[in-house]
Amino acid sequence: MQPIRHRMTDLASAPPGGVHKPAILIVDDAPDNLGTLRTIMLREGYQTFVATSGERALDIAQRIKPDLVLLDVVMPGIDGLETCRQLKSHPATARIPVIFISARDATDDIVAGFDIGAADYISKPLRMQEVCARVRAQLRLRRNSESQTEQADRLRMIVNSMDQGLLILERCGRIQYANPACDRYLGYAPEALVGRMLAELLAHVEGAAADCASMQAMEGHGTREVRIRHRDGKLRAMDLTMTPMHTADGLYVALLHDITHHKQSEDALQRAAMLDPLTQIANRRHFDAFLDKEWQRAVRSAQPLSLLVLDVDHFKLFNDTLGHAAGDACLQKVAEALQYHAQRPTDLAARYGGEEFVLLFADTPFETAARQAEAIRDAIEALAIPNPRSSTSPWLTASIGVATIVPTQLDAIEHLFVCADRAMYAAKSGGRNRVETALIGQAWEAVKDAALY
């Protein structure tokens, strides 16, 4: 155990709480050297702690974590080299700079000191101005190092706490780093994404494969929406922003923002905007856009396009007799029957207004469309919905007009609607609960001068 006198000397120069001064630990077994160095360091404004052995120095360093150690090389017991080695091997003291002070000035001795982690080596006899200058230099380096470390730690904390996913990518698309949000987005354990290729995650990148070329293709184009494969195999909608780091190794920073829920909400709104709220089939707006697209495709392919216009017979009487709630339920059942007959991607059933419905069948010739219309008429009557005041049938029925055209650039969509609509009115005039047809090319000449309804 150290004498009480030494223990008091070790800690006597500690400043009062709240005043920060750099702390210097001086280690020397020669009292004269120890006293001189301590006096100089105090004069320079530093806290000073002293130890006369390596064992004592290690104990004090663990407790106070000094900013710098001035360490004699030749000491009894644990010498300075071993003391330094143990300081550098412990995480709590490994980053404390050590300046060796020794009468050994041979090259081998100096090299040995630097090899075990010394920051500087001062030969005896000491020149105190030089000692002070070297101490100041090492403390300045330590402050700069700590500042950089603090900045790096602060940046790491920010990156790790981000809600956005962050990837650092090599030029070839290999992942060097993924932050916790990215791991969380994609369902991976920490570090599991490192070393993988971006190409393995991206389901599709418009205009480029997810490789070296796509790194350059994606940079500078702002944020783009991509589909990224989750670890469970499902695709997630994400916004991806790719930015070069402008470093010699050509790294990129990729920011990922999960927009899956946003896209689901957006898709739901889009679907809602395209659906009739009562019947849950396409509304008029959706149908008009769909018809325009299929019309242009039919012009290019020279394939037939068939339109059915359907009107529920005596629907006003049905509503007046059974009430609007029954009328709404009736239209919903009719819509279900129509939807059943519009199964292909190029088919569409829609409520066009009131009790009027339309169906479009692309790539469908006249005869097939007429058979479909007859099947739909049968299906509506087979619903067996009572219509007490109908003069046509005890059940709910519908009148259907069919028109087919192979459109050209010289034709207009209105031609198709006029013919199908007039055919539907012909079905009503002919007794209702029936199908009337019009093949444009034969029928159009007869109706082109009629006023549009």
Helices 413-429 and 284-301 cross at an angle (nearest 10°) of 120
Domain 162-262 has CATH 3.40.50.720: no
d(CA 203, CA 303): 34
- Look up 355 and say whether it is catalytic: yes
Q: Is 395 exposed, middle or buried (0-12, 13-18, 19+ CB in 10 A)?
A: middle
Residue 265: its pLDDT value, please?
67
> CA of 11: how far to CAs of 43, 53, 97, 124, 315, in Å?
16, 16, 20, 26, 101
Question: Tens digits of per-residue pLDDT, 67-125?
Answer: 999 999 989 889 999 999 999 999 999 999 999 988 887 888 888 889 998 889 988 88
Q: Could you tell me whether strands 252-258 and 165-169 are parallel, antiparallel, or unpaired per DSSP bridges?
A: antiparallel
Q: Residue written as tokens 């001795």? A: 109
Alpha helices in 341-430 (DSSP H): 366-382, 413-429
Partners of residue 436 on adjacent β-strands: 401
Of 55, 266, 355, 367, the catalytic one is: 355
Contact 293, 357 (CB under 8 A): no
Question: Tens digits of per-residue pLDDT, 23-68?
Answer: 999 999 998 889 999 999 999 999 999 999 999 999 999 999 999 9
Question: Tens digits of per-residue pLDDT, 257-310?
Answer: 877 776 666 666 677 678 898 999 999 999 999 999 999 999 999 999 999 999
Architecture of domain 275-447: 2-Layer Sandwich (3.30)
* pLDDT > 70: percent of the chain: 86
Amino acid at 159: V
Contacts of 410 (CB under 8 A, 6+ apart): none
| DSSP assignment letter at 365 | -
Residue 258: its pLDDT value, please?
79
Residue 216: its pLDDT value, please?
54
Round the average pLDDT of the chain to a whole number and report it. Answer: 85
- Domain extents for the chain? 4-158, 162-262, 275-447
Strand order in the sheet with 98-102: 47-51, 23-27, 68-72, 98-102, 120-123
Break the chain down into helix, strand, coil percent, rounded to 5. 45, 20, 35
Topology of domain 4-158 in CATH is Rossmann fold (3.40.50)
Least trusted range by pLDDT, from 372-376, 398-402, 409-413, 447-451: 447-451
Partners of residue 69 on adjacent β-strands: 25, 98
Partners of residue 101 on adjacent β-strands: 72, 122
Residue 222: its pLDDT value, please?
62
d(CA 407, CA 445): 15
Residue 4: pLDDT band by 50, 70, 90 thresholds?
Answer: very low
Contacts of 198 (CB under 8 A, 6+ apart): 167, 169, 173, 174, 175, 210, 214, 254
d(CA 242, CA 230): 19
Question: Tens digits of per-residue pLDDT, 325-349?
Answer: 999 999 999 999 999 999 999 999 9
Q: Does the pLDDT value for residue 451 go beyond 50?
A: no
For the question of whether the overall pTM of this predicted structure is more than 0.85, the answer is no
| DSSP assignment letter at 230 | -
